[in-house]
Amino acid sequence: MRKPLVAGNWKMHGSRASVTALVEGLLDLGATPCQTLICPSFVFLDQVQRQLAGSDIALGAQNLDWHDKGAYTGEVSAEMLVEFGCSHVLVGHSERRSLFAETDVQVGLKVEKCLSSGLTPVICIGESLAERQADETFTVVQRQLDAVIRQVGVTALRHGIIAYEPVWAIGTGESATPEQAETVHVHIRQYLAKQDENISQNIQLLYGGSVNGENAADLFAQENIDGALVGGASLKVDDFLRICRAAV
Ligand code: PEP
């Protein structure tokens, strides 16, 4: 039985004060009803780690570098993230791929680094609008998955999570319909099943792209949608909790 997970990607938002208030808001309302993960900017990890002490909410980062350490100005290592209480890392978010030219190969290296460091990678995959219109959705997600599997092997995905995030739905207010999302999730499971039935059945498949309090329940009602990766709506306590409640 796959557990539902709702993850918040806070992107490059927040200040000391607003992040403190957001975490307090989540904690004030008691235990979040489903497995919950929040991913603040690197600079807030320390304060959020302290605030979350003793809570069930997991802490994640939005990126990492795959090298152990060294002269990589501006980068953050897996070891650093572990020291700051992270259990998860978003890897290959479409904004990293499109705005920072992150390649499929680099995504594979980052996933490998997460796994060897005891961090759970949330592997983000998804097609652009042009790719969807050209009927290339399945080809794109397969290519993105293949790059990871080539690097770490399919069985290593038992320690990973996949987030299907169609690029055209991220931050646009235009979510995929539950049926559109479910179609791709089913395809991902079938694709994985050809390589490892166990991984295919057990891996958590999140949907991401304009999830909010209104549309979450319908998305989560789909058999193969195990939760959500949430951007904008994760910055408001009430909206995020509404999504978490819809997941159980
Ligand atoms: C995201 O950034 O992963 C995301 C899904 O953003 P939004 O929910 O704002 O579309």
Both tokens of 88, joined, read: 């998860």
Contacts of 38 (CB under 8 A, 6+ apart): 7, 8, 10, 23, 26, 48, 57, 58, 59, 60, 234
- Per-residue pLDDT of 16-73, as tens digits, reads 999 999 999 999 877 677 999 999 999 999 999 999 999 999 999 999 999 999 999 9
Which of 76, 63, 81 shows the shortest CA–CA distance to 9? 63
Q: Are strands 58-61 and 161-164 parallel, antiparallel or unpaired?
A: unpaired
Q: Each residue of 198-247: pLDDT tens digit?
A: 999 999 999 999 999 999 999 999 999 999 999 999 999 999 999 999 99
Distance (angstroms) between ligand 1 centre and the Cα of 70 equals: 32
Residue nearest to atom 8 of ligand 1 (CA): 231
Q: Domain map of the chain by residue range?
A: 5-246
pTM score: 0.97
Nearest atom in ligand 1 to 234's CA: 8
Type of residue at 81: L
Q: How many Å lie between the centroid of ligand 1 and the Cα of residue 105?
A: 23
Tell me what pLDDT residue 207 has: 98
Question: Among 212, 229, 240, which is best to mutate for testing ligand 1, by the most ligand atoms less than 8 A from CB?
Answer: 229
CATH of 5-246, one of 3.20.20.70, 3.30.360.10, 3.30.470.20, 3.90.1570.10: 3.20.20.70
- % the chain with pLDDT above 70: 100
Tell me, using a 6 A CB cutoff, whether residue 57 lines ligand 1: no
Three-state SS string over the chain comes to CCCCEEEEECCCCCCHHHHHHHHHHHHHCCCCCCEEEEECCHHHHHHHHHHHCCCCCEEEECCCCCCCCCCCCCCCCHHHHHHCCCCEEEECCHHHHHHCCCCHHHHHHHHHHHHHCCCEEEEEECCCHHHHHCCCHHHHHHHHHHHHHHHHCHHHHHHCEEEECCHHHCCCCCCCCHHHHHHHHHHHHHHHHCCCHHHHHHCEEEEECCCCCCCHHHHHCCCCCCEEEECHHHHCHHHHHHHHHHCC
Enzyme catalytic residues: 93, 165
119: nearest Cα among 79, 150, 69, 149: 79
Name the residue of 10, 90, 164, 170 to mutate for ligand 1: max ligand atoms within 8 A of Cβ. 170
Q: Are β-strands 120-125 and 5-9 bridged in parallel, bridged antiparallel, or unpaired? A: unpaired
Q: Is 210 near ligand 1, meaning CB less than 6 Å away?
A: yes
CA of 71 to the centre of ligand 1 (A): 32
CA of 14 to the centre of ligand 1 (A): 16
Residue-level pLDDT at 68: 98
Please determine, for residue 164, whether its predicted confidence score (pLDDT) is greater than 80: yes
Atom index in ligand 1 nearest the CA of residue 210 equals 10
What's the pLDDT at 31?
Answer: 67
**Would you say the CB of residue 230 lies under 6 angstroms from ligand 1?**
yes
Q: Is the pLDDT confidence value at 111 over 70?
A: yes
Residue type, 11: K
